[in-house]
Amino acid sequence: MKMRKNVQIFLYTLSLAAILWYPAATILKIEFPKEPPVEMKFAVRAVDPYDPLRGRYVRLTVFPNEIAVPEGRKFNRMGKVFLVLEKKRDGFARAVRLAEDRGEIAPEEIFVKVGGVYRLYNPKNNEWKNAWHFTLPFSFFYLNELDAPELEAELSNRSRSTKDKDMVLTVQFFKDGLFAVKKLEARKGKK
């Protein structure tokens, strides 16, 4: 591909600008948001705490992960599905409704794109429920290498006990569905 040197330099600068645009926009949105983010808490269960490349991290099952929907309402499992969230008095998140179109969501509402969407089935009476499963996207939490063993032991104990959802994940929600996980902690203030 023969091109003049100046044109090449110009195009390369443009491509670098394109590359930097996404990280810069993300940092600006999170560090200097136009409106303060809404913080919500989620009950979580943690599994699989180590990865040789990424180091210490926990894979989380986040709750809520089911929602009742009006009868006859269906969602395309392969398409985009958004979950509208609401903050309860105790700071925990409540799943309000699922939506397939961003147009169904009011500008002031907090929402997030979800995956793993499928209709729940009741095998006892062989009937489809009017409820759908979804997976919230904050399924990883990276840990400090030095603090990790302690937290992993804690998580491991809790997973085995009946209080297996007793960990809390705090997430900040920004406009346009952007979110950032803030912290993972024990519900009773104990790490």
Partner 1 sequence: MAEKREFLTWILDELPKLRASGLLPEETEKLLADHYRAELDTLPAPRKLFAALLACIGIVMTAAGIVLFLNYNWDMFPKALRIGISAFPLLIGAVLGYVTIARAKSQLWREASAVFTATGAAVLIAMLSQIYHINGELHDYMFLVLLLAVPPLYLFDSCVLSALYVFFSFFLVTGDAEPWRSGVTALCFLPLLLAHLRENAKCAVFYRYLAGFTALFALMGCCGARYYTVLPGMALCGLFIVSGTDLVGRGAGLLKAPWLLPAFALQTILLAGGSSDDGVFEMPSRPGMHELWVYWVFTAAVLLLFFLVFMRRRLSEERALNVLFVLLTLIPFATDMPVMRIVCNVALGLGGIICLRGGFVRRSILLFNGGAVMVATLTACRFFDAKIGVLYRSAGLILLGIGFIIANVVFMKKSGRA
Q: Does the protein bind partner 1 through residue 1 (CB under 8 A)? A: yes
- Check if the beta carbon of residue 141 is closer than 8 Å to that of residue 127: no
| End-to-end Cα, the chain, rounded Å | 58
| 39-47, 83-91, 133-141, 151-159 -> range binding partner 1 (CB under 8 A) | 133-141
| 41-49, 64-72, 151-159, 172-180 -> range binding partner 1 (CB under 8 A) | 172-180
In sequence order, the β-bridge partners of residue 188 are none
Six-digit token string for 121 = 């089935």
Candidates 77, 94, 187, 191; binder of partner 1 (CB under 8 A) is 77
Identify the three-state secondary structure at position 123: coil
Identify the three-state secondary structure at position 163: coil
Q: Does the protein bind partner 1 through residue 11 (CB under 8 A)? A: yes
In sequence order, the β-bridge partners of residue 45 are 61
Q: Does the protein bind partner 1 through residue 65 (CB under 8 A)? A: no
In sequence order, the β-bridge partners of residue 162 are none
Q: What single-letter DSSP state applies at residue 146? A: T
Q: Does the protein bind partner 1 through residue 25 (CB under 8 A)? A: no
Q: Does the protein bind partner 1 through residue 28 (CB under 8 A)? A: no
**Does the bond joining 149 to the residue before it have cis omega, within 30 degrees of 0?**
no
Sign of CA dihedral 118, 123, 127, 131: negative
| 63-71, 74-82, 91-99, 159-167 -> range binding partner 1 (CB under 8 A) | 74-82
Candidates 45, 105, 142, 154; binder of partner 1 (CB under 8 A) is 142
Q: Does the protein bind partner 1 through residue 130 (CB under 8 A)? A: no
- Check if the beta carbon of residue 120 is closer than 8 Å to that of residue 187: no
* Segment holding 149, helix H or strand E: helix 148-160
Q: Does the protein bind partner 1 through residue 175 (CB under 8 A)? A: no
Candidates 30, 69, 96, 105; binder of partner 1 (CB under 8 A) is 30
Q: Does the protein bind partner 1 through residue 180 (CB under 8 A)? A: yes
Task: Name the residues that contact partner 1, by CB under 8 A.
Answer: 1, 5, 8-9, 11-12, 14-16, 18-20, 22-23, 26-27, 30, 53-55, 76-80, 115-116, 137-145, 178-182
